[in-house]
Amino acid sequence: MAQQAEEASWWHRATDNLGNIASTGKPDLYLSGYAYHGRSTYTQEKLDGFNETTWGGGFGKSIRNAKGNDESLYMMLISDSHRDPQLMAGYAYQWMWRLGQTGIEAGAGVTVALTSRVDYFGGFPFPVVLPVASLGTEKVKLLFSYVPRLSDNKGNGDVLLLLLRIGME
């Protein structure tokens, strides 16, 4: 019984936190523009066919929590590596560090999202957990996320995605 109460408590804290971000978070604009595919993971023929200008965008909300870390909810639509639409919706948490008195900060953390791509599961949404990092100010950040190589076989993963997040307030 105690374990069930603890699990329910964890679930309620998580959903309350997401609700807080959605209702009180500051609005953000997301712009996508570049995906770097690892040159040692793909054949030159594959690389030549890839779209590395992953134009797209989205919206989200973010808060600076009581510990000074960044939490975000977001939804984006971008052009994937094959020029097909890729929809992503998720949550990101980053531990933040100020870089001196410059107003510049760095962050590192994780994002948990649902994504939909036509080349995986016929476009049916599937979950992803990826690392995320950032560099910028509290209002404007360059975000980095990395899809690791998914197997020893060449041709899967090893993609660095760059995004810009702009606070709208």
Q: Which residues are catalytic?
A: 37, 80-81
In angstroms, the CA 67 to CA 82 distance is 40
- Closest-CA residue to 159 (of 139, 138, 145): 145
- Closest-CA residue to 34 (of 148, 145, 128, 135): 145
In angstroms, the CA 75 to CA 88 distance is 6
In angstroms, the CA 106 to CA 34 distance is 20
In angstroms, the CA 42 to CA 155 distance is 5
The answer to whether 159 and 34 have CB atoms below 8 angstroms apart is no
Task: Report helix, strand or coil for 6.
Answer: helix
